[in-house]
Structures are given as C-alpha cells and as structure tokens.
Structure 1
Amino acid sequence: MGAGSTMGATIGATIGGATPRGAVLAGPLRIGQSFSARYHIIKVLGVGGMGAVYQAWDAELSVAVALKVIRIDASRRSASSEAEKRFKQELLLARQVTHKNVVRIHDLGEIDGIKYITMPYVQGDDLSTVLRRDGKLPVARALEIARQIAGGLGAAHDAGVVHRDLKPANIMISADGLALIMDFGISASSEEATSGGIVGTLEYMAPEQSTGAAVDGRADIYAFGLILYEMLTGPRVVSATSARERIDAMKQRTAEGMPPVGSLDQTIPAPLDALVTRCIERDPAARFATTAELVAALAALDDAGELIPIPTRISKRTMAAAAALVVVLLVSTFVLTRRAVLPPKQHEPVSVVIADFQNGTGDPTFDRTLEPMLKLALEGAGFISAYDRSGVSRSLGVRPPEKLDERAALELAVKQGLGVVLSGSLDRLGSGYGVSVKATRAVTGNVITSAKNRASNKEQVLSTATKLATAVRKALGDDTSDSAQRFAMETLSATSLDVVHEYAVAMEALSNSRFEEARRSFSRTVALDPNFGLGYAGMAVASGNLDKQQDALKYINEAVRHLDGMTERERYRTRGLSFSWTSDYQSCVKEFGDLIVRYAADAAAHNNLALCLTFLRKMPEALDEMRQAIKILPNRELYRHNLALYLDYAGEFQTAEQEVRAMQEPGLLSVLALAFAQLGQGQLPQATETFQALGKINALGASYTQSGLGAAKFAALGCARVLRGRKGPAIAAAESAMANSQTVKIRFLAARVFVEAGATASAQKLSAGLASELQAEPQAYAKIVDGEAALNNGDARQAIKTLSEANTLFDTWMGHFDLGRAYLEAGAFTQADSEFDRCIKRRGEAQSLFLDEEPTYGYLPPVYYYQGRVREGLKNAGFADSYRTYLSIRGQSKEDPLLPEIRRHVGR
C-alpha cells in the first residue's frame, strides 16, 4: 500500500476527484438510478471501507452534490453498527464546524433503508492526488494550502472537534485553489482492525495516537506537519505492503522522528523548516499548543517562507493616555452575551462624525449644545454609530481639533475610516431660528442629503433639530417610519435647552479626563431637571473615575430609576453599566447582548460585551466580539489593546504577540499584553525586560513591576510569606490588604492567606461574607475558601465536594487548581492530573486571575510541582519533566521552600 492508504479508509476522500488506485467501484446505488424523487445518481466518486460516495443531482436544490451512504454488507444486507456509529459521528462533528475551509453537510436522512448525507460537490482533486501528480509543490503554493488547512482545522478545534485522521486524501483542492477538510470522525474500515483503540491512518498518526492514548488537537497539528512536509518535499515513499510492515514503519517514524525538511531541500528557508519541525515533534508539549498559535506562526511568514519583519517601536506619547483608557471602558458601557436572535435583515454599519454646528445666533447657550442630542437621535437607527466632539475623544481615542468644522470633520473621518460627516448651522431668522443639517460622504465629498427647518422660538430649537435627524436617518437607509422616529425622540426634544447645554459641557469635560469638572456639570443637569437620567449616569461615571465607588453606585441606581427619559440605546447602556459595577456579569452580558441585537453597529457595545464575557471566562466568545468591534472601528487602538489581552487570557500567546508587534504605537495595555504573551510562551528573560519597560512608561506602568499597589500588593505579599512558612507576617499582610480594600477580590485573597496561615476564624468570617453576596462569583470564592480549609484539615473528600460545587457555580482557574490539590491528597491521581492539565491549558487566565490586568503569574509555577507529584504517583516515566519546568521558572530563587524537594525528585 502507498503512503495514502489508511487503517480506516475514508470514503469521502475522492469527492469531486479521481478514484484512488485499486478502489473497487461498488455500492448500494447504481449510475442512472433515482434515489428517491430528489436525488439522481450521476457517477461513483469513491468507495471505502464504510460505504460509497456518488455524484448526484439534487432536484430540490437544482445543484450537483456529493452523496455519501453507508456501505451495505452483501451477506447481511444491513449497515454495520460500527459504520453507522461513525457515520453519525461525522455528521454531528462536521455540523459543529462552520468555516470556508471545512466541507459542510447539506442534508441527512434515510431512504429505502439506506442512510445518507449530502455535501457540496467540489470539482477538483484531493491533495494526495495532487502530490502524486505534481510531486513537491513550490513554497508559495504549499504555504497557501497550509494556511487554509490550518484555518479550517482551527475552526474545528474551536468547536471542540479533533479530526484524528487528517491526511492528504482528506483534503480537497478545488479547481480555484480552495482547500477543504473532509471526513470528520471517520477512520476505521471494515477490512482493517483498530486494536488497542487505535483509530486513524498509520502514515499520519501522531506518536501518542499510535499507542491508543487519548489525543487532543496537537495530534492534528502533527498530521498537519507531515502534510506540509510532503508538500515541500514530495510524497513520502513507503515500501510497506502488509499491515505488519506499515505498523513497523510507523513505529520507526514515531521513535526516530523525521529528518528536517531543510536537510532534504536546502532551498527551504530556516523559519519554514523550524515551523514544520515544531509541528512534528514527537512530544506533544513541544508542538504548537493550539491551532491558533500555528495559524499565527504561518501568518508571520511571507510567501517565500521567510519571517516578515515586525516593527517593534513603542511610543511613549500614546502610552501617556493610559489613565484615560479606564474612562473609555466605563463611559462607553460594559458587556453581555451573544445575541440570541438576529434581525431578519441587517443594514451595513454606518459611522457618522458630527461636526461642531455653526452658531450664528450670538447666543453661547447653543455652543456645542445640539450635537449630543443629534448623536442620540441618529443612533436610534440600529446601524448608525455617531460621534460628536466628546465621542470622537471618548470612543475613537482621538483628540479632536479645537475647530471641528465640516472640513476638519471630513479629514478626521477619512483618517479614521468613517463614512459620513454631519454638519449644520443655527441662525436667527426673524423672531425665530433657522436650523439646517447636511450629510456628506467622507471620501468623495458627495452630499447625501440636506435639510432645514424653522423653530418659532428658542425652546423649539432642540425639537426642530432632532426632527431633522429623521430626514438624515432615512437618507442613510433607515426604514423606520417618521412617526416612530419622532415618538422615540420625544424625550430628547422635550429636554430643557439649559439641561442639554450643561450635559454637553459635562461630556466634553469627561472626555478630557476632567472628572471633577464633569461631575459638577452633570450635577447641574439634575438640579435643573431631577428626572434627567443621563445626568445621573454621567455623575456615576465621573465618580467612579474619582475612585468614589459608593457615590458611583448611588448615582447609577438613580439613573436606573429615571430610564424613561432616555433613548432605547441609552437605557440598555445604563442598565449594562449598573450590572457591570455590581459584578452581575450574566445580566450585564444579557443587557448588552440585547443592545447588539437592536444596534449591531455599536462598536462600544461589542467591546464591552467582550469585557463581560472575559469575566465569565468565555474567552472564544469574547474574542469574537472584540473582533467585531475592530471590524466596525478598525483604527480604534483601544480595541486592539483589548484584543491582545484577551488573546493572552485565552492562551493564544503567539497570536497575542503578533497582534502587539503589528501595532505602530502600542499603548500601556498592549505592552502588558506582550509581557503576558512572553510569560505564556516561557520566554521569562524577554518578559522581564518587557515588564521593566512598563515601569518606564508612567506610574500605572510602574505599578505592574511592583506586583500592584495598595491592597493587591499586600495580598500578594501575604501569599508569598505563606509559601515561605512565615505565618505571622503573612497574616499581618492580609490584614493590611483588608484595611486598604474590601472588594471581593481582596477579601478572597486575604481569606486564602488566613486559611494557609492557620487564622481559621478570620478566614471563616470572610468566607461567610462572600457567601452572602448576591452574585455567583463571590459565592464560588466562599466555597473555594471552605474547600481549602477542609483540605488543610486533612478532609480531602469534603474538599473535593466543596471545590466541585465552587467550579459548578462559577468556573475559575483557582477553583480547578485547588480541586487538583484535593484530588492529589485523596490519591485520585487521574482526576488530579486532569485538573492540573486544565490549569496549564488555561494558564493565560493565571497571568491575571481576576482578569483585571493585575499580574498574578506567581500562582502558576506550583501547578508544575503538583503535576510532577501526580505523575510520579501514576508512575509516569516523564514525571520529572514537570519538576524541571518548575525549576526553569523558580530555580534561581533563594527562598523557595519547594526547591530542595524538587531537586531530590529530579536527582540534582
């Protein structure tokens, strides 16, 4: 058999391509046969151990499809149970994956006792055929195909699907060069045994897969590496013909490894050689940890296989605005889950910059007063995001020019990639006022629409201006009726002009980080109109930025009491802000998710939804939302900073590093994300240098080099003292932390220190307080503290029960770490190994346990110590590797009490 032959020959390998040599064309259907009224069989595409694949005409869809059926046993005329099981598995797994480089299932069913599925008919050849025909491929073409395979494989892994049988025969190359992965979950054939639970193709099987062990995505990465290897060097020649010879060849490959591709073809660039070598490492831990890391590594290569130069310039000018990032996170609102239902039709997002209106009245009351209300009026359309002067600063992160007239607004819109500029004017017109507006396309300068109207007196100006917004919305594509628009804007137009003027002044002060001035102006709005809910919301934001948290909570509660005077979008935002400040992340996610259903173009909502999803540890969904925000506002640097951090939390360290290095002027949070990425990749010297660079940026950056300030620093100090056996000083540090802060985070960390230091009463008091909180997160922390206490008292069984309850209540890294320790003490090594393995896979979260950018990397190294103990208990030959990892991180410490024990275990 050749290299493409399989232990479990898959029958979809030839969809749209040539039939493999030696295949016997047989199956339950005949050419020309009608398979029900819907399908007409055109030809046989391929036959395998499980069944057959046909090209068929789908009369209902009026397209050619590939139709796969289970092969019928001629002696029994029934589908084998194993074949049926795998047939269903392919359907279930493939349907979980949606990606342009993965074949999708059209239909499934059973006709005349024959089970079938249909999928797109692809005109082209499988990669095995391409390699047999063309031999090795040019580097550029090999990389083009490899990037597509990796993209599809990444989508599968993100959906929790491991292919297990990736090989050239399972990859279709369409006539236009599109690579498609096929045959998820099908591997073993009826002709060949899969003894020992081994499933897959011998020639592409990872070493761990060949032993029958459980595999993860790294087995697919190994197979991917072999496929890329063959694309660069040509098909591997395998002389084995019998099953025994093939198994022997596999054992030799998995034991000895493969020679580097560069040794076979010296024209292959070293970076590409290194990438392939890492994919096919015999040790899974030495390969790319995730497909996302593999995709990032491929993206770092040009079409010749050389590294793309990456700018590393870090400007201090933009980093100086780090404190303002906190404001943006608060003001632009917070978070929520995926939208459950999408509207039937979505308008493309439209971003509008609102220029300062020309005030020809001579009355300063109108200076920068109409713009905030026009913003709210325009954003009544779900596809519009509008930015007035304060919004440009707050939401786009750009300081507007002092004179933001129409010309300046057009220049700003072009630079920021925004589509429309709204300008206007207000003039005296006899005893009344004339209001005019004009919407212009930023790039072309073409006028989309213009409108004007007359206000009979001063108090009617605001109403007149918001009514003109109806004409603009309609011109931009809003199909909401005029009456519905006017009804939605009644609360805006009914607001006092003096209130609106103070609100505009307050918003501008807030956008420029003048928080006390903003708070005073917001307070004047509610003094003029006690029902003006936006004023209370602004006071809450300003107070929060002044670190007056109790005032912030008081004002946001007042804002919620006065929702009736807000637009629909502002009601969502205010409730979301309230939920976020009270750590009700589930409700916060729901609120902002509902906002996005109605207002899909709201980039800030996507950003804040991503933030809340990270707090719920739903990292893939958070990344999706963050990328949506960037799609809407591609030049918003804050969103790219956040994406890099969330990639770290998700464990996609290489991708995070690539994201940071691609930035022209990384900000403080981006530099922190780079440090986290380097830690996650084990690059400790580089991470140390990056943290030192943070200390030179500003005071906030310096705080990261000191393990935080105030309460957090005392809590970390208490933890360090416990590890060194200094219980009295540890308790003192925890008490100092509590004296500085009573937040959930500090109470939890202090309680852990109290438990470990033997201050049981203090720990129990804090645990009771956490358990009485309304939200799931502090309740889970209370159970973690109780579980640790049980563990310290020698009751591992109770600790396991309590910690399992904690993880069910709220999924945290610390909960899994402590549960692993409890299993270890109970002698349940397999369960303990599972928990510690989970902690290592989720080590991105350990960088900042509370996902607040406060570094907590010190909690990670003990995982490797406990993992070493577990694997030693399991009599795993490689147990010392875990201890060595610990030594590589903490081996230079002068005070680590674990080092003597660990060195005894590894013999040094």
Structure 2
Amino acid sequence: MQPGQTISHYTIIEKAGSGGMGVVYRAHDSRLDREVALKFLPRHVKPDSDDAARFRREARAASALSHPSIGHVYDIGEEDGQMFIAMEFISGKSLADILESEGRLAFDRASIIITEIASALGVAHEKGIVHRDIKPANIIVSESGVAKIIDFGLAKLNEESDLTKDRSTLGTVAYMSPEQTQGSDVDQRSDLWSLGVLFYQLITGKLPFGGGYDQAVVYSILNEAAPSPSSINPDLNSAVDSFFERALKKDDRERFSTAADFLDGLSTTSEFPVLDLSQAKTPLTLKWVKVAISVVVLAGLTILIWTLFPPGNAASTNEIDSMAVLPLRNLSGDTEQDFFVDGLTEELIVALGNLEGIRVPARTSSFAFKDSDADIGDIAAQLGVSTILEGSVRKFENRMRLSASLVNVETGFQLWSDTYERDLSDVFTVQRDISSSIAAALKVELAPISETVSSSDVDYVAYELLLKARYLWYRRTQEALIQAVDYYEQAIEIEPGYAKAYSGLGQAYAVIGFYDWLPPDISFTRAREAAKKALDLDPTNSNAHATLGYIALYYDWDWDESSVQFELAIETDPNNPVAHQWIANYLIVTGQFDRAIQEMRETIRLDPLSLIASSALGFTLNHVDANAAVDQHLKTLSLDPNFVIANFWLGQSYERLGNFSDAIRYIERAVELSNNDGTIVAGLAHVYGNAGRMDDAKRLISELVGRHSDGYVSAYNLGKAYIPIGDFDNTFLWLEKAFADRSHSMALINTDPQLNPLRGDPRFSDLLKRVGF
C-alpha cells in the first residue's frame, strides 16, 4: 500500500507497523472524517487459511467488547483479495517502546496501567473472550495517558473453539502461562498470568522467567520460581512480593481466578495508593481502583469524555430507526436479584422509547430472549430492529456495575458502549446517562422526561419495591398479582408521592378485576383510586390514563370516557403497547372492528413477540372472520404451545366454525393448563353443549354453580354456558347477576358472538339498554 492509495472509503496515510498477523497503516476515513488504523493480512495468507480465519475472529471478538481500555473496531472489509479491519487509531506509544526507553516504571504509574488493563480484561472475560497474547507490544498508552489493549487476533472465544483445539502455542513465549506453553486449553487465568508477567516487568525492568532461547524460557516458566520483585527493585516491599507469589503460581487453581480477584489482590499492597472513589464517574471505577495521583484523575476524565462523546466510533446512523433492548444479564450470582436486573431493563426500554424517530419494542418482546443463546441477527429479524442494546449488571452490597453496548446489527459493530459503577442510589442517573449517550451516538433527540418524585428523587428502597412488584405483575398469576399489590403499597408507604407506584398499583388491581380474582366493586374501585392519585402526581403518566380508560370500559360502561382516557394514554406515550391494546378492546365493545384490528396490529408492531397481543388480535378477528382468527391463534401457539388464553380462544374460534372436535381439544387443554380456571371451564361447558354432549355440559355447569357458592366465579360466563343446552331462563338469571356485580364481561354483551341466540329476546334488549347500548 502506498500513501494516497484509497481502499473503500479509507485513504492510506502511512505504514504504522507490522507483525506476524498483519500490516497496519494509518489511514483517513473520508465518510466519517477521522483517522483509523487499517490492519491487512499479508498477501500470502490464503482466505481459507487458519490465519485468515483468526483475522476474521479478531474483528468479531474485538467488536463485541466495550471498554475505554480496549481498542475499538469500526469495520471489516476486503480489497483485491486482502482482508482488513478498520480500528481506532491510537496516538501514543506501546509499552514495549516505553520499556525500551525508560527501563522500568514507578510502581504508581505501572499500577495505573495494570488496573486499566485488568478492568478491560474483566469485560472481555465476562463475554467468554480470552486474549491469549498480553504483552508490551499489545498495550498502547495513548497521549492522554490511557492504556489500551490491541490485537485480539489470538482471542479464544469459548463459543468458537475449532481453531484452538489443535492446542497450538499461540502467543509470545515469555508472557505465556504454564498451561499455554504446554498447549493446554486456557481460560481467563492465563491472561491474568500474562498480566502478572507484564506488571513484574514494568516495575523491575526484567522478565520473571528468562532464558537464552524459547525452550529455556519455557523450562523456567514451568519449573523455576520468579525472583521476588523487591530483590530486583529495592523500592518495593514484601506486600508486592506476596502479590506476585500468587499472580505467578504454576497451578492455575492457586492463581487469581478473575480480574476482580487480581485487582483485589493488588489493592492489598501498601505500595498501592489509596483514594475513595465512591463518587467517581469513570467506567474504570471498580471498587478496587484506589489511585490518588493527579494523572489518574486526568485519565479518568479523559475516559469519561471519550466514552460519552466518542471520536467517530459509530458507523453511519442514517438508516437506524429501531432498537431492541435485550434483558440485561444478572452477573450477581444471585437469582433473587433478577427482579432488580429485569427492572433496570424495563426502565431502559421506557427511557429509550423517548428517542425521537427510534422504535423500541416493548418489554414483552424483549424478554422473549431472556437467557437465550439466539444469534443477534435472528433476534433482530424477529423484532424487526436495526440495532440491539445488550449488557450486564452486577450488584454487590450497596453498589452496582452496569455495562452496556449498542450494536448495529447489519455491520455487527458497536455504535456506543459504556460501563458504570455507582451506588445503588444513583441508578436513576445511570439510566439517564445511557439514554443521553445513545441519543448522542445516534444523533437523535431525546424527548424531555417529566421531573417528578417518581424518578430521580425517589427513595431507593421504594424503587426496589417497585421493581419487585413489576417483576411479579408480568407473571400474571393470581398469587403474583396479590403480592405485587403488597409491594406497591409498601413503596407508597415509604414514598407517598411516588406516581409510578400508584400507577402500577392501579394496573395490578385492574387486571385482578378483569380476571375475576376479586369482586369488581373492590378491584376496579381500588384501581381507580390509585390511577387518579398517579395522575395527580404526574399528569403525563400514560399507564394511569390507560387504567382509567380500562375502568371506564369494563366497570363504568362509560364508552365516551373510556375513549377519552385511552386517547390521552396514546397521546402521552404513542409507544405504549398496553394503551393501543386496550383502546382496541374499546373498539371491539363499540363494534368498530376494522379500527380494532388496526390498533391490535399496532400493538404487535410495538411489541412483536407479545403473546397476549398476538392472542388479542385473534380474539378481535374472531368477531369478523373466524378462519383468520384460527390462523392468528395458531401463530401465537407456535411461539408458546402452552399459552393458556391462545388455546382457549383458538377453541372458541373452532367452535364458531362448527369444528367441535378441535374446539373441545384446545379448550380441554386450556382447562388443564389453567388448573380448572372457572371462565375456561364455562367455555368448555358451552362447547360441550354445542357438540351435543349435554350431560357433560350440565355436569360442568353444576360444578361451576357450586364453585360460585364457595368463591367468585364469573356469572357472565356461567350464564353463557346455559345457552347451548337451551336454558335461556338460567342464562338471563346469571346475566342479571353479572349486571348487578358489574362484571367486566358485561361490556362485551353488544358484540359477543356467543350471545347471538339471545338477540331476539326482549330481555336481552332491555339488558343492552341498561348496560348503555
């Protein structure tokens, strides 16, 4: 390559270096107006060779990592049969050059570098990536003083090991761990050995294991103890010697097992300067980093600015219009913290939904991929998005560490990344920082968020109770919702002005009322009180408006007020899938089926993998086209064959088509899956009657009447069960009871297809008028 030569949209400036794995050029990226490093494989390397495969893997490995001390990868391409990677160009010196010119470094300076590199390796190891070639030449110290790891060309991904199972001794011998010199499989402990060797060299000016040739070095690594650092550098003390005794143990089981352990060990040396970083803002502020000299403050500020406002580390964002937030991974080792991690994910989904022009699929769709090993491309295809935000959370005591990265699915490269370690009380600030940083990276506006006590000023204990309540609310079981109510009420007791807690309490009671788990006069009245209080505190709360619309629809039978509240919910938050689904319910009740279908489809666009939204579309279609409803319900069951409501509503659609055998099969399955839910058992009695199985129908009806005496069973659905056996008197008896109970199902009386046999009866006309039709 010659200066001035153009490769794709990169113009070569000069040759920057070369090594066994390729030649590196400094180049100018004309598209984004920045300097980059272009790394080419030598021409003699064949595209199907191990070196070429290793080269491709370097790009994948490095692009998956997000840390200020890891050199960023921007692009990968090919020119005239030569592959290249476009990487961050780091203006600075390698540690090899620094050691050559300075001999050795002061302990304080060396410990800063090692801390930054250990922190970066910790991020790589969490993603299952082992560098395998930590050495001075692969660490660049930028002009601003930040140490960065480059060349993940030898990285061993745990998920992709075909090229490493030959046990070849890749790497540079003097920095190899004992297991690596023997060609054994290696993990993160090998990198930490290499880091220990590098640290030893920085503070002594010598390698711990020497020899005149490679085999002599290998022999020393396997059989000889390293001289104590203090015997070479008298400025070091015995605590430093003790650290290296563990860092360079021959048996990897006795070595530091993680980067966190390594840093913990380093923090015990009296040589290591101490500073309380509890309020620090840089991504490197692990609890072990305690540096008190001014260069660290400068480095930390540089890293923060660099991370929040990266110098062109994003590919073109012109076509980015959507983003999925995958469930954050819980790295705490405690499943009891799932509620906290899931809650943070949901908060980010809501916050990022405020990005102008960016569609963010709702929580339900995102959480379909919790603990999934699905390919990121497949996830993006299913959710219909162009970018994906993924990350992890580690919670320890009253601290949390959140790492996140935004990936362009088409290119596979990162658009933004950052790591935050903060007190738990700063969780709201972290959420805002992430949203603002992503908005800056995508060059879009972040819509203003109302500042109320429901956000940044809330007591953390109340916030944690809110997260627990939401976690249970999504489980949608009776026991879970009752416990959610308790958590919401505890949060409100601690923080009486907490709008989100009141809103959640209202939603919980509304759903309890819908499923007939409490009498309607209790559940919907409590739901209304909570939703109104939420709006008193925060008039922009979309969910509270939606809940009031839900109550007006299913309890008040006030169609006009229901429409007003649902429209307010959508106006306040156009991306609220619940509001769109619930206004569709209103449209069904009022017979506006075409609009109802449109709103249900919009719900699915916002929440593509929501089982309840998919099922609700089938329920809506059943009013106008039972065959289309069957197709939709089968699509839902392809996502989850055990989803109760889809089995139930599919059976009802088959029943409407006269296919009673399939109807009975699916509704019987729904009864089994729901543990004999009263509403579904009533539906089974109904289809038994239509199929001519009168004795079975009457038996189930008798059982339901008995259950109604012992507890709450929907009178509306019990009344419908009498229709196929021709007992209209009992049908109206139970419908009148449903009217007196203000059963939510009475809202459906005007359009429920199963009530068609009653429509010529004067009693039915009278009932319609009293309900409000």
Normalised-by-shorter TM-score class:
0.3 to 0.5
RCO higher in 1 or 2 (8 Å CA, sep ≥ 6)?
1
Tell me the TM-score normalized by structure 2. Answer: 0.43
Tell me the TM-score normalized by structure 1. Answer: 0.37
